């Protein structure tokens, strides 16, 4: 039975590198019918905060990385916060003491006697990595203040929680021999490791917490991304599935996941590419789902939505024009207010041509004369108005778009008029004529 875990230290927001580590663990568990565990490594009281723990849980939930055991879920191997497992660590330390593998320093620190043999890590990503017998001083397990160090609690919990595989950041590879030395001392079989290369910025510098795109909540949840798109992009950041195309749903990614295919070189983060994925997912959504996903951003922009089906249709009509949900309010705000602003330079152009009011009058007359109000009928009315005014339909369209929306860009003019309805369409032309 496969058991994997994501074991973040809650020192800050969920970082994109951590999210990808969690993702690979999750994919491996889901593909193999295994168990995905969330363990919070919060033994560093000075640096760990409850706020950071909560943020990590929130980020994982948003990405859809549900855990089978861990905080809020419980499980047979809890507690899942290391800060609550001191008795277990004490018991394990006693085992090592009984075996004569520890000694106490004058200051009270308990140290582990390294085996000082050569140690090989069989890594699913990096291959076999052999460490020569160490010349480092023996490792402190318990500090004089009674707190335990990371390497010790990490290994004890991997034993206690029966981990079979460990996907984690490559920054831990150089210390893995210490972990294996501890596993061996306890007579436990180490898990199979997969050390995942780092994520670098597009300029090859190391990605830090302050870099664009690094924090799941700030950059993605609040930035107008869709969880499925971010999930998809993060999967491909360091792994190339054997298939055609890049836009792949969770089920496909899960079934294709092979740890041996994780790249052994560092991945390069590309915000534009991530936005491109978002655009693909956004376009493929149903009007209802897209509206639901956009809703928090519409509310944030202060748009008062009385008619949800119209709002959904309006958003659907501009879905090809945006990459992020945050861009949507700016494209559709005029559907929800009659005091919509007009773009300045277009207004100047509108007023500069003396024939424009007559063209708008013609359109208004054509609309008024049409009994039914379908998108096709609206289009026909515009064509007829253009014909009667002696201009091309293409000349009337931008003028009407501007009258109805105050904008020079947007969805098709017939779509705008259709969604606004006949009465509002006519009222808006009148408002524009009165400017
Ligand atoms: N708490 C460690 C970290 O956040 C976990 C290391 C591991 O996965 O073994 O880096």
Residue whose CB lies within 8 A of the most ligand 1 atoms, among 17, 172, 198, for a mutation test: 172
pLDDT for 345 beyond 90: no
Compute, in angstroms, the gap from residue 28 CA to the centroid of ligand 1: 17
Q: Is 173 in the pocket of ligand 1 (CB under 6 A)?
A: no
Measured in degrees and rounded to the nearest 5, phi and psi for residue 193 equal: -95, 150
Q: Is 9 in the pocket of ligand 1 (CB under 6 A)?
A: yes
Ligand 1: does its nearest atom lie under 6 Å from the Cβ of 7?
A: yes
Distance 278 CA to ligand 1 centre (A): 29
For residue 26, give its domain range.
Answer: 3-199
Written as six digits, the tokens of 403 are: 């009258």
pLDDT at position 346 over 90: no
Are residue 373 and residue 422 in the same domain, yes or no? yes
Range list of H helices, 134-185 = 150-160, 176-185
122, 255: one domain: no
- Number of separate helices (H) and strands (E) present in the chain: 17, 11
Residues 53 and 191 in one domain: yes
Same domain, 63 and 190: yes
What distance in angstroms lies between residue 421's CA and the mean position of ligand 1's atoms? Answer: 57
User: Which residue lies with its CA nearest to atom 3 of ligand 1?
Assistant: 8
Decide if 374 is inside a domain: yes
Which domain CATH number covers 260? 1.10.1160.10
Whether residue 322 sits in one domain with residue 289: yes
Interval between CA 8 and ligand 1 midpoint (Å): 5
CA 341 – CA 328 distance, rounded (Å): 17
Residues 359, 417: one domain?
A: yes
Query: How many domains is the chain partitioned into structurally?
Result: 4
**Termini Cα distance of the chain:** 73
CB-based burial label for 253 (10 Å; 0-12, 13-18, 19+): buried
pLDDT at 136: 97
Q: What is the pLDDT of residues 171-229, one digit of tens each?
A: 999 999 999 999 999 999 999 999 999 999 989 898 887 888 899 999 999 999 999 99
Comparing CA positions, the residue from 64, 60, 67 lying closest to residue 10 is 60
- Do residues 45 and 183 both lie within one domain? yes
Q: Which strands, in side-by-side order, build the sheet including 102-104? A: 102-104, 110-112, 139-142
**Ligand 1 atom nearest to CA at 172:** 6
CATH of the domain at 329: 1.10.8.70
Is 69 inside a domain boundary?
yes
Q: Are residues 289 and 278 in the same domain?
A: no
Q: Is 154 in the pocket of ligand 1 (CB under 6 A)?
A: yes
Do 255 and 152 sit in the same domain of this protein?
no
CB 119 within 8 A of CB 177: yes
**Domain annotation covers residue 36:** yes
For residue 48, is pLDDT > 90? Answer: no
Give, using CA atoms, the residue closest to atom 6 of ligand 1.
Answer: 7
Q: How many angstroms separate the alpha carbon of residue 369 from the centre of ligand 1?
A: 70
Q: pLDDT digit string (tens) for 219-277? A: 999 999 999 999 999 999 999 999 999 999 999 999 999 999 999 999 999 999 999 99
Q: What number is the average pLDDT over the span 393-404?
A: 94
- Given a cut of 90, whether residue 46 has pLDDT beyond it is no
Q: Is 42 in the pocket of ligand 1 (CB under 6 A)?
A: no
Residues 222 and 267 in one domain: yes
**Looking at the domain assignment, is residue 266 inside a domain?**
yes
Pair 136, 57 in one domain: yes
Regarding the beta carbon of 8 and ligand 1, being less than 6 Å apart is answered yes
User: Ligand 1 within 6 A of 3 CB?
Assistant: no
User: Is the shortest distance between the CB of 172 and ligand 1 below 6 Å?
Assistant: yes
Residue 427 sits in a domain of what CATH number? 1.10.10.350
Q: Are residues 47 and 116 in the same domain?
A: yes
Q: Is residue 385 part of a domain?
A: yes
Nearest CA to ligand 1 atom 5: 7
Spatial separation of the C-alpha atoms in residues 285 and 28, rounded to whole Å: 27
Does residue 338 form part of some domain?
no
Ligand 1, atom nearest to 5 Cα: 8
Nearby residues of 180 by Cβ (< 8 Å), 6 or more positions away:
119, 121, 190
Q: Which atom of ligand 1 is nearest to the CA of 21?
A: 8
CB 363 within 8 A of CB 357: no
Among 174, 199, 224, the domain boundary falls at 199
Reported as a single tens digit per residue, the pLDDT across 113-138 is 999 999 999 999 999 999 999 999 99
Q: At what angle do helices 413-420 and 308-317 cross, to 10 degrees?
A: 180
Distance from the alpha carbon of residue 168 to the mean position of ligand 1, in angstroms: 7
Cα separation, 86 vs 90, in Å, equals 6
Q: Is the CB of 168 under 6 A from ligand 1?
A: yes
User: Quick check: is 209 catalytic?
Assistant: yes
Question: Which of 333, 353, 372 is where one domain is finished?
Answer: 333
Pocket test for ligand 1, best of 6, 15, 36, 41 (most atoms within 8 A of CB): 41
Catalytic residue among 209, 351, 353, 392: 209
CATH of the domain at 89: 3.40.50.620
User: Would 232 be classed as within a structural domain?
Assistant: yes
Of 333, 367, 393, at which residue does a domain stop?
333
Please, what is the average pLDDT of the chain? 95
Provide the phi-psi class of 275: left if phi over 0, else alpha when psi is between -120 and 50, else beta: alpha
Assigned domain for 207 exists: no
pLDDT at position 371 is 84
- The answer to whether 381 and 414 have CB atoms below 8 angstroms apart is no
pLDDT (0 to 100) of residue 131: 98
Task: Name the band, by pLDDT with cuts 50, 70 and 90, for residue 91.
Answer: very high
């Amino acid at each position: 039975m496969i058991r994997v875990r994501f074991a973040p230290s809650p020192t800050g927001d969920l970082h994109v590198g951590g999210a990808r580590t969690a993702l690979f663990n999750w994919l491996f568990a889901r593909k193999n019918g295994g168990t995905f565990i969330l363990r919070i490594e919060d033994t560093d009281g000075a640096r760990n905060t409850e706020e950071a723990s909560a943020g990590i849980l929130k980020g994982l939930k948003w990405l859809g990385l549900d855990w089978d055991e861990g905080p809020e879920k419980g499980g047979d191997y809890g507690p899942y916060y290391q800060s609550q497992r001191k008795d277990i660590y004490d018991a394990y330390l006693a085992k090592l003491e009984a075996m004569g593998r520890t000694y106490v320093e004058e200051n009270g620190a308990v140290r582990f006697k390294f085996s000082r043999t050569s140690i090989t890590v069989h890594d699913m990503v990096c291959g076999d990595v052999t460490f020569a017998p160490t010349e480092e001083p023996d490792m402190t397990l318990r500090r004089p203040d009674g707190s335990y160090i990371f390497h010790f609690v990490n290994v004890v919990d991997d034993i206690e929680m029966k981990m079979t595989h460990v996907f984690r950041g490559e920054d831990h590879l150089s210390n893995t021999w210490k972990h294996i030395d501890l596993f061996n001392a306890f007579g436990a079989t180490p898990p199979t490791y997969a050390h995942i290369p780092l994520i670098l910025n597009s300029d090859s510098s190391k990605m830090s917490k302050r870099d664009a795109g690094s924090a799941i909540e700030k950059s993605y949840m609040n930035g107008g991304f869709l969880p499925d798109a971010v999930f998809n992009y993060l999967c491909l950041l360091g792994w190339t599935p054997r298939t055609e195309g890049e836009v792949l749903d969770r089920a496909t990614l899960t079934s294709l996941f092979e740890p041996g295919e994780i790249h052994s070189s560092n991945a390069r983060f590309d915000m534009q590419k991530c936005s491109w994925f978002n655009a693909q997912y956004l376009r493929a959504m149903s009007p209802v789902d897209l509206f639901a996903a956009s809703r928090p951003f519409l509310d944030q922009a202060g748009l008062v939505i009385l008619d949800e089906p119209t709002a959904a249709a309006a958003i659907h009509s501009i879905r090809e024009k945006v990459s992020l949900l945050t861009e949507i309010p700016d494209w559709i705000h005029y559907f929800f207010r009659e005091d919509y602003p007009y773009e300045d330079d277009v207004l100047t152009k509108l007023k500069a041509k003396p024939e424009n009011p007559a063209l708008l009058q013609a359109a208004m007359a054509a609309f008024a004369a049409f009994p039914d109000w379908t998108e096709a009928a609206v289009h026909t009315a515009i064509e007829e108005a253009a014909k009667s005014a002696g201009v091309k339909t293409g000349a009337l369209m931008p003028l009407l778009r501007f009258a109805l929306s105050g904008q020079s860009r947007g969805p098709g003019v017939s779509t705008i008029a259709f969604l606004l309805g006949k009465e509002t369409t006519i009222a808006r032309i009148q408002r524009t004529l009165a400017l």
